């Protein structure tokens, strides 16, 4: 591991090129996405094959062992942002709002752990109860999808309990005092969360009724990744 006090300039460049460091992150990404022995569902199927995506998605993620439903390309993006924030000495913690089984935040913590960085926390914000029920008057389309068979039966409203997410962190030996959980709806928890500054922010609010807040405790150089 590399000392947190020596993570500027060439030492971090050395970490990027360190085979053990690179191998750990690659194995972590593939384990979290259940792609060690399988391939991730293809969202870019030809029109005549598009019907296959939902059952493949359900099999791979909802019924499988994946801890993240992010494609590998998005975890790569998180990795690039976290490493660049460290390299450029952007102050602040890391956060994901909407974590499902915790995969992306486990990956964030894994990067910090591998580099022995002890002055940044990872914030894990979610209801841990699935998606909120949309207002059918304000958001009729979302309400229809929410109560439909795909979201209700196949995807189970993307619910994953706090206990399950903590268990997943523990399975990777990454559950410690640098992991901070925020349980509840974003509109209630995020405005009053005891967060200092944020260097990397991944926003993943799945419905209009539960959109994440606009962070104020960031730097001009912070990385913001939005997904919905």
For 116-138, the pLDDT digits (tens) are 999 999 999 999 987 777 777 87
Of 25, 130, 31, 114, the residue nearest 78 (C-alpha): 25
Q: How confident is the model at residue 6 (pLDDT cuts 50, 70, 90)?
A: very low
**Dihedral over Cα of 214, 217, 222, 223: its sign:** negative
Just list the catalytic residues.
Answer: 76
Predicted model pTM = 0.83
Each residue of 49-60: pLDDT tens digit?
A: 667 777 888 888
Question: What is the helix (H) or strand (E) element at residue 94, kind and residue range?
Answer: strand 93-97
Task: Give the whole-angstrom CA distance, residue 200 versus residue 203.
Answer: 10
If pLDDT is split at 50, 70 and 90, which confidence band does 228 have? low
Contact 92, 218 (CB under 8 A): yes
Residue-wise pLDDT tens digits, 83-124? 999 999 999 999 999 999 999 999 999 999 999 999 999 999
What strands lie across the sheet with 198-203, from one edge to the other?
Answer: 179-183, 122-126, 93-97, 198-203, 218-226
Domains and CATH numbers, the chain: 4-226 (3.40.50.150)
Query: Which residue bears the tokens 């971090």?
Result: 12
Cα(77)–Cα(62) distance, integer angstroms: 23
């Amino acid at each position: 591991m590399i000392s947190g006090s020596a993570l500027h300039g060439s030492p971090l460049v050395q970490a990027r090129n360190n085979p053990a460091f690179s191998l750990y992150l690659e194995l972590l990404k593939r384990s979290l996405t259940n792609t060690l022995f399988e391939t991730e569902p293809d969202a870019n199927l030809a029109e005549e094959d598009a019907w296959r995506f939902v059952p493949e998605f359900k099999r791979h993620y909802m019924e499988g062992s994946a801890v993240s439903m992010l494609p590998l390309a998005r975890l790569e993006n998180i990795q690039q942002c976290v490493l660049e924030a460290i390299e450029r000495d952007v102050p602040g913690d890391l956060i994901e709002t909407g974590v499902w089984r915790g995969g992306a935040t486990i990956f964030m913590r894994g990067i910090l752990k591998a580099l022995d960085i002890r002055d940044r926390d990872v914030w894990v914000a979610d209801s841990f109860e699935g998606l909120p029920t949309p207002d059918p008057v304000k958001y009729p389309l979302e309400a229809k999808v929410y109560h439909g068979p795909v979201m209700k039966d196949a995807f189970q409203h993307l619910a994953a309990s706090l206990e399950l997410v903590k268990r997943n962190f523990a399975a990777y030996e990454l559950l410690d005092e640098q992991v901070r959980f925020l349980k509840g709806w974003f509109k209630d928890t995020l405005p009053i969360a005891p967060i200092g500054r944020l260097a990397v922010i991944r926003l993943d609010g799945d419905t209009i009724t539960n959109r994440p807040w606009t962070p104020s405790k960031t730097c001009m150089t912070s990385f913001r990744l939005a997904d919905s």
